[in-house]
Amino acid sequence: MRRTNRMAKATTKRTTATTSRSPAAHYDLRKNLSTIGLWALGLLNAVLIFSFVSKHFLTGDERMLNVSEEVDGALPAVVKIEVLNGCGVQGLAKKWADHLRTAGFDPVNVTNYDSSNIPRTIIHDRESNACKNGLAVAKALGLPKEYVAYQQSDQRMVAVTVIIGQDHDRFDIAQK
């Protein structure tokens, strides 16, 4: 009987040891599962960020702004422009606006610029990165393509802004 009791006790010890886990082992499993879960969420986050960036910024059809390209495509029927005098010569903006009006443009705002000492004439195309309208205005004025730049403005309701600079005497606009 003693032998049976010893065997029963040994059997009981073996079964309890194999079926129950220590609290430390259970805690390690929980810690490992949470670590794996965090890594999985981090990986999912990285995939989502890559997807967003590639969809919105890496479309594959980007091209550098090159204003030296020829004007291609049809321009709008009437391109609304503003002519701003940034050189301080009285009446010059009106002369340039009259010249542009005869060239088929619609100068809707002819006034002085905030400053009267702008060193170089600037043409800002407000509608397209390709600067189609700005290049057409530059061509009508006889200005080089390098004077045209894209600058979007939600406050201005014109397609092109011409700011006459101190170099205005290089271009014989009034004589044309």
Distance, CA of 143 to CA of 71 (rounded, Å)? 14
The dihedral built from the CA positions of residue 128, 133, 139 and 142, taken in this order, carries a sign that is negative
Distance, CA of 125 to CA of 153 (rounded, Å)? 9
Token pair, residue 113, equals 């610029």
Q: Mean pLDDT lowest for which of 11-25, 42-56, 135-149?
A: 11-25
Specify the pTM: 0.56
Residue range 80-170, CATH number = 3.30.70.2390
Token pair, residue 131, equals 């600067």
Assign 176 a pLDDT band (cuts: 50, 70, 90). very low
pLDDT at 38: 93
Domain residue ranges in the chain: 2-56, 80-170
pLDDT at 19: 53
Encode pLDDT of 153-168 as tens digits.
777 788 899 999 988 8
Assign 108 a pLDDT band (cuts: 50, 70, 90). very high
Encode pLDDT of 24-81 as tens digits.
555 687 888 889 999 999 999 999 988 887 776 665 554 555 555 555 555 556 889 9
Neighbours of 102 (CB within 10 A): 10
